[in-house]
Structure 1
Amino acid sequence: MTNVFIGGSRQVSRLPANIKERLNTIIEKGHRVLVGDANGADKAVQKHLADVHYEPVIVFCSGLTPRNNVGRWPTHNVTPPKGVKGFQFYAAKDREMAREADFGLMIWDGKSAGTVLNVLRLVKDDKIAVLVNVPEKATLNIKSADAWREFVQGLSPEMRDDLRERATADEWSFSNPSPQLGFSLDSEIPESASTTEVLESDFVKAINAALSSGDAALFVDALGNVAKARGMSQVAKETGLSRESLYRSLGSGGNPEFGTVLRVMTSLGMRLHVESVRQASAHQAG
């Protein structure tokens, strides 16, 4: 059964007709709905589903008790990290829904950073996110990293700052992979080089910098970010490994097997090269 993550802004308390049509399509197809417990869009979606007695619904909540469960559906209780409060407390359930979903429908008031971050979480995991801007009556299908970054560039500086403040470092690195990995353009690349060639050079420099540091965690983080930038679904296909296991092993705190590292690097068009540190130092000294 397909899981659909439906979320939205607190300021959207009434669903417009186009959203109801999308919900009815989801109902007709029998998809399982993952929805939060907040007031606003979450509660409005719950009410629409309850009115038609739709059963394949799971209500996600941070903590032990949902704030809203209109249809008395099963709940999925998420335990937030110890000590977090406010936005990050409730964001724990959103991150869990994004992980469990196959695609998402976000109902946006044009202002809520939390709703936009859910789009980021979905696209980061190679899942399609449909973002409906209610005030502007506009719908965006955000399917790729490039589409996400183009969308973010169109936001106000204030909104981008808000997103950056609320996102985790791992989430925001997806929006700005170059600064996160320390990418810089190679001056030796000819001006006629394609964008792909420039990016490949930057990816190689980032991986080499991480290797040179001697910090295994930094290397895994760099390799994971390059894989995400290339497309984790494609890397999974080429390596024969599952996308979920790649996200785990190449994510923050991951500890991939050496065989996995070699397969991922081959998929990315890279290979390891060993040299003598002593000889390299002697050559530089000479």
Structure 2
Amino acid sequence: MADAEPPGRSRPPARGFAVLVAGTPFGCGFGGDGRVCTIQSWNQRRGGTEESGSFEEIKAMSDHVLPSSTNPAVFISGSLSITALAEPVIERIDGIVERMLPVLIGDARGADRAVQRLLSDRNIDAVMVYCSGDGPRNNLGKWPIRNIPSSGAKGTAAYHTPKDKAMAQDASCGFVIWDGRSRGSLANIHRLAARGCFIAIWLDPEERFITLRSDSDRDSFLEAHPCRNL
């Protein structure tokens, strides 16, 4: 497996491209070397398909862009309790970058902030930060923002729900870094699954990936992990 790019080093320049996020184009440019990475087996014990061995990092995600989508962006979300990213998660995010898939991310502490730090350290430009209220709580890369109105009470989960719904609607696929307990992360999985999106899930307590690529995968996972508040 190729060595990971050291944090803070700019990737080689590449031709820019534009995508649409809620009708607003933003430019982005990535370099890529077509790395082949080894990912841990994807366990289907709780829904999802199992894969192992070497394959082109995140190829499955870019191959499962929704046919009706004009935006190939990946919605990356995760639990507030997760403040450090496991090495397989870092490899997976590097793969998203290598496949030139723009990132939609929230502004929360925890996993949002940890992913923002990684992308900022790698000087990645193709990021859109979604927030509620006057401005983002975290925007470490000073990326463009999309402010989503909310009628919920400030400081509550309900206040931030509209921005999560917007990201799930605007993206074509998702990567969820889940602690196995967070209802917000689980709700994002349900929202993406309702649209038939490809979803990669890192189940942090068990240090394994779950992938939901088919209707059967999604149905199996949702049945095993119901969520009431969407």
- Asked if these proteins are the same fold (TM beyond 0.5), I'd say yes
Match of 1:125 among 180, 195, 200: 195
Q: Which amino acid aligns with 2:87?
A: A
Match of 1:31 among 101, 108, 112: 101
Which structure 1 segments of 5+ residues have no match?
168-286
Q: Which amino acid aligns with 2:202?
A: V
Match of 1:148 among 196, 218, 223: 218
Aligned length: 159
Match of 1:111 among 165, 176, 181: 181
1:19 matched to which residue of 2?
A: 89
CA contact (8 A) 1:123 1:144 kept: no
Match of 2:208 among 138, 142, 145: 138
Per-residue CA distance 1:94-143 (angstroms, 9 max, x = gap): 11001110100000011111111111111111111111101101211113
1:59 matched to which residue of 2?
A: 129
State the shift of 1:77 in Å.
0.4
Structure 2 residue 102 is the aligned partner of structure 1 residue 102:
no
State the shift of 1:149 in Å.
3.4
Pair 64,144 (structure 1): closer, same or farther in 2 beyond 3 Å:
farther
SS of match in other structure, 2:206? coil
Per-residue CA distance 1:131-180 (angstroms, 9 max, x = gap): 1101101211113444233224434xxxx4xx21x22xxxxxxxxxxxxx
Bigger Rg, which one: 1
What percentage of residue pairs aligned between the two structures are identical? Answer: 36
Tell me the distance in 1 between the aligned counterparts of 2:130 and 2:199. 18
SS of match in other structure, 2:134? coil
Which one has the bigger strand percentage? 2
Tell me the distance in 1 between the aligned counterparts of 2:222 and 2:167. 22
CA contact (8 A) 1:124 1:145 kept: no
Match of 1:48 among 114, 118, 122: 118
CA contact (8 A) 2:73 2:103 kept: yes
Structure 2 residue 136 is the aligned partner of structure 1 residue 71:
no
Tell me the distance in 2 between the aligned counterparts of 1:48 and 1:18. 13
Tell me the distance in 2 between the aligned counterparts of 1:83 and 1:92. 9
Per-residue CA distance 1:50-97 (angstroms, 9 max, x = gap): 0011000000012221110001101010002x3455112111111100
Per-residue CA distance 1:227-279 (angstroms, 9 max, x = gap): xxxxxxxxxxxxxxxxxxxxxxxxxxxxxxxxxxxxxxxxxxxxxxxxxxxxx
Q: Which amino acid aligns with 1:115?
A: S
Tell me the distance in 2 between the aligned counterparts of 1:144 and 1:15. 27
TM-score (norm 1): 0.53
TM-score (norm 2): 0.65
Tell me the distance in 2 between the aligned counterparts of 1:57 and 1:83. 26
- 1:169-188 correspondence to structure 2 within 5 Å: none
Tell me the distance in 2 between the aligned counterparts of 1:83 and 1:70. 25
CA contact (8 A) 2:190 2:222 kept: no
Pair 31,98 (structure 1): closer, same or farther in 2 beyond 3 Å:
same
RMSD: 1.5
CA contact (8 A) 1:35 1:42 kept: yes
Q: Which amino acid aligns with 1:123?
A: A
Which one has the bigger helix percentage? 1
